[in-house]
Amino acid sequence: MHDTFLSAAVWIFSLLGIATLVQVFSKKLKLPFAVLLLGVGILIPYLVPFLSLPVDSNAISFSPEIVFYVFLPSLIFESAYHLNFRHFRGLFLEVASLATFGLLVSISLIGFVLHWGFDFPLGATLLFGALISATDPVAVLAIFKEMRAPKKLSTMVDGESLLNDGTALIIFQFLLLNWMSFGMGTFQMSEVFNLLSSIVIGILVGIGFGKFFTFAIDKATNKGVQMTLSLILAHVTFIVAEGFFHASGILATMTAGIIMGSFGKRKLSTESQKSFVDIWSFLEFISNSLIFLLLGIKLGQVSLFEHWELVLFSVVLCLFIARPISVFGTFLVTNLFRKKADKSPFSYQFITVWGGIRGALAAVSLLLIPADFPYLNEFYAMATGVILVTFFLNATTVSYWLKKFKLVQLSATENIQRIEGKLMTNEKIHLFLDNLSEKKYIHDEVFMSIKDSYGVRKESLEGELNRALKNLLGNDKREIEKVLTHFALGIELKSYTRLYRLKEISESRYNILIESILRQIDRLEKNILPEEMAFNIHYAPNIPTGKLKGFWAPFKKIIREKKILERYQHYRSRRIASWQVILDFQALEVEHKIFADATIIQKILKRYTGWHNLAQKKLAHLQNQYSDNL
């Protein structure tokens, strides 16, 4: 037993060392990290005889239990935590349709065509369709991030994968138990109810654990405790859903991750948020490294030549028939329910098709099939062929298609935001250097030399910014107004967050104010300016009027006092935030002379001055009418 543990430990740390080297070479070779990991994993079994390591070659294994209960929860939670919920919510129709309707179309096409073409039982071919239809776009998303692909496209591909993994695994487990029933006519409709209940219960478990642990993490003051609780949340949610409720652990962990990332994250300090990013990036690296190396090792042991005709047919069917039909067909339906500006263009649809990489979940699903399954060897060969082609063809060429469709070019607005970000970084470095100089941590000559270099860089960036702004002002004033409006909304957002950190507004009022800002940003990204927005939502709470009588009078009084306080917090926050915008924009007008004659900055100042005066008026009215309650 000692030798077994030693062998396993040596292999784990050896694989992590290999993954570190692969990461370095992937940057130099400009190849996707996951693709290179898979390729190296395939070579490892052939290199083991030449390595003088104190390990048994049988230690190379790909246990589905380890992946299910250790790796998958980490990967699912990390993706869900970082998922842009605002974009995900806006694309839920497309994402949910791809993960349900599109998935069922893909499974059905693969199942029926293989059934008719190779005379496999229908239940068996549908089972293969379920295991091979789960997407795993880790390599693609890394390319999206590196090439700055549109957020809408990244969220669509990432969101489909998250939901797709859960629904595909549920359908696979369902078919694994009932595949023979499809051919024998003994299928029970009660199994469909079990399938649906697995989905619903999994989501409910995720909601329950997500809210409970979000509350616990918020109350914990130690960052180490917060990190530990998040780790427990990801894995316990998965284990409870799968082991105790026989529900979807993936959907449960995904739901918990979205709740923590979209709502719980707001409650954390800036330092804690950075720590969360660091710890989950670390766990993602370990999980991805081991999964794709072990997946490569497993695929390298499969013989493709014995069933080469079946493998070739499966690759063509899955990647060039079933995937395009299911995705394009889904978008054909969802676009009917979207306005012209919100429809998904062909370029997005094509990249979604091409980015449907198959990976670890398909391989793990294969290992869940019993050894006595009559078509196990054929399934291994077909799945291996599909996985390898998607990794070495699709993942390596997705950057070409992004460039082909011109989806990696920065818009004028994004370019200005990029320059502004560099200027802010440059300013922070200036302040840091001044601090070092005051504390005598750096020689005066070195200090002046470095400061002069950053001063030159600042002048260069300011010139670049002014040129970009002049181009916008000369060509499209609407774009510059969108940039400045977005900047103003960011100032408001920071003001509300600062007030919440200082406990000057309640959590519920803070969430409402943040929601109002995010809604305006959403509309701004759809090219709708504030004056063109139809505000149908009243964010300030109404105060109940009328005399308080009867048994419920004390309770009504408590409710009214709460509403008065919330209304006061709302308008006080609006007054403070709008005043901060006014101050910053007045400074912006002075610092950047390009705005001196610009009507746009005056327009925004006038807008926020009106909002500031309105908030001031509302506060004065509250103080006059409800002075006893404030």
Task: Give mean pLDDT, residues 415-437.
Answer: 70
Return d(Cα 195, Cα 191) in angstroms, integer.
6
Return d(Cα 161, Cα 134) in angstroms, integer.
7
Return d(Cα 480, Cα 237) in angstroms, integer.
46
Reported confidence tier of residue 212, pLDDT bands at 50, 70, 90: very high
Residue 300: per-residue pLDDT: 79
Quickly tell me which residue has 């294969």 as its tokens.
366
Return d(Cα 283, Cα 303) in angstroms, integer.
32
Specify the higher pLDDT residue, 400 or 501. 400
Report the range of poorest mean pLDDT among 15-24, 231-240, 341-350, 559-568: 559-568
Residue 127: per-residue pLDDT: 94
Burial level of 24, CB count in 10 A (0-12/13-18/19+)? exposed
Reported confidence tier of residue 327, pLDDT bands at 50, 70, 90: very high
Return d(Cα 420, Cα 483) in angstroms, integer.
11
pTM: 0.79
Predicted confidence (pLDDT) at residue 170 exceeds the cutoff of 70: yes
Return d(Cα 510, Cα 461) in angstroms, integer.
35
Contact 84, 151 (CB under 8 A): yes
Q: Convert 180-214 to b/e letters by CB count within 10 Å (16 or more is b).
A: eebeeeeeeeeeeebbeebbebbbbbbbbbbeebb
For 213, 452, 594, the CA distances from 467, given in Å and listed in that order, are: 49, 23, 9
Percent of the chain surpassing pLDDT 90: 27
Contact 573, 511 (CB under 8 A): no
Return d(Cα 22, Cα 39) in angstroms, integer.
10
> How distant is the alpha carbon of residue 300 from its chain centre?
31
3-state SS track over 469-528: HHHHHHHCHHHHHHHHHHHHHHHHHHHHHHHHHCCCCCHHHHHHHHHHHHHHHHHHHCCC
Task: Output the six-digit token pair for 590.
Answer: 């002075």
Task: Output the six-digit token pair for 86.
Answer: 């605002």
Task: Give mean pLDDT, residues 290-305.
Answer: 81
Nearest by Cα to 463 from 353, 593, 366: 593
Task: Give mean pLDDT, residues 485-506.
Answer: 88
For 100, 200, 365, 391, 475, the CA distances from 326, given in Å and listed in that order, are: 10, 24, 21, 20, 42
Nearest by Cα to 113 from 368, 353, 323, 393: 323
Return d(Cα 244, Cα 449) in angstroms, integer.
65
pLDDT in tens, 3-60: 667 777 777 888 889 999 999 888 888 777 888 888 888 888 777 666 554 444 455 5
Angle, alpha carbons 284-165-13 (nearest 5°): 30
Predicted confidence (pLDDT) at residue 594 exceeds the cutoff of 70: no
Run of H or E residues at 565 = helix 553-591
For 100, 276, 480, the CA distances from 323, given in Å and listed in that order, are: 13, 35, 41
Residue 454: per-residue pLDDT: 73
Residue 424: per-residue pLDDT: 65
